[in-house]
Amino acid sequence: MGRSKKGDIVNGWIALDKPVGMTSTQALGKVRRHLNAQKIGHGGTLDPLASGILPIALGEATKTIPYIQDHLKTYRFTAQWGEQRNTDDLEGHVIATSDHRPTQADIEAILPRFTGEIMQTPPQFSAIKVDGERAYDIARDGGEVVLAPRIVYIETLDLVEYTPDRAVFQAYCGKGTYIRSLARDMALALGTVGFIAELRREDVGPLGPHNAISLDSLLNLDHSAALETALLPVETVLDGIPALNLNQQEAARLKNGQMLSFISRPDAERLQKAGVMMGNGPETALAVYNGTPVALVEIEGVDIHPVRVLNL
């Protein structure tokens, strides 16, 4: 007889409002223990310095983590001018200083240079792997980390508050964007040096203040109340993809890993009603039966292939 998995089956998302001073892994561990969940993961690391939305996936929701990672995120951050730190944030030690302070007009003038697709070099203290080792582990041991620049996408970048020594910004950006690198590079473009003094992730796609819960609030609820209050449906993060309704037989075939072929006119009308654009190449959709997600599928022509079967 095989060993049973430890913990309870819990399926869904929690938009956790992570506090400052805790790693994402520590927050994940507290949620796992409190909910006694079998399977758990998160959709994007937050530094200990940062607070805000940490998307936590439980059970079958872990199969949808790539979809939350593709959503744009909103960050509010404070850049402090005059010091550069080895971590590019408040936690590091000072490695350079400058007496120059940018004016508000100076800052507003460079913002267009940091929107759209830009090249960005990640911080040395990042989770990127170099020869199998995390960059931050190499940096903490005194080693030099050389990370290649990469293309990231910043849709909007706005100056929210200004003083001579620091400025508050709001950025709406895509995955892989390092806000610490953004503040560092903006400072250099302004003829000074700088680092992140405060950082908050305000939303990740459909997860934000309207459906978030603080860690303290979650831990103060008993198990059943926590699930009732904080647990969001698995499909919450899939709001940007078409939902295709199936009948019972079609749902059973997908759950068994079998392909479907929609060749009749009513089938084509169902695809059209779901918002699937026929003839535009492969498209991802959420297959649903009686309101319950069945699988993430790839639709190409008349063929529907299961990509991730959801056991809900």
pLDDT at res. 227: 93
Statement: residue 307 has pLDDT above 90: yes
Alpha-carbon distance of 71 to 73, in angstroms, equals 6
Please give the residue that has the higher pLDDT: either 275 or 106. Answer: 106
Compute φ and ψ for 78, nearest 5 degrees. -110, 120
Looking at mean pLDDT, say which of 68-77, 233-242, 267-276, 299-308 comes out highest: 68-77
pLDDT at res. 266: 81
Please give the residue that has the higher pLDDT: either 99 or 281. Answer: 99
The answer to whether the CB of 182 falls within 8 A of the CB of 99 is no
Alpha-carbon distance of 284 to 286, in angstroms, equals 7
Statement: residue 160 has pLDDT above 70: yes
> Could you read off the pLDDT of 77-126 as tens digits, one per residue?
999 999 999 889 998 899 999 999 999 999 999 999 999 999 998 877 66
The residues annotated as belonging to the active site are: 47
- Matching CATH topology for 12-70+208-237 and 241-309? no
Specify the amino acid at residue 236: T
pLDDT at res. 2: 39
pLDDT at res. 240: 83
pLDDT at res. 134: 67
pLDDT at res. 262: 83
Where do the domains of the chain lie?
12-70+208-237, 73-204, 241-309
CATH, domain range 73-204: 3.30.2350.10
Statement: residue 216 has pLDDT above 90: yes
Q: Which CATH architecture is the domain 12-70+208-237 placed in?
A: 2-Layer Sandwich (3.30)
pLDDT at res. 137: 62
Specify the amino acid at residue 289: Y
CATH, domain range 241-309: 2.30.130.10
Q: What is the mean pLDDT of the chain?
A: 90
Statement: residue 140 has pLDDT above 90: no
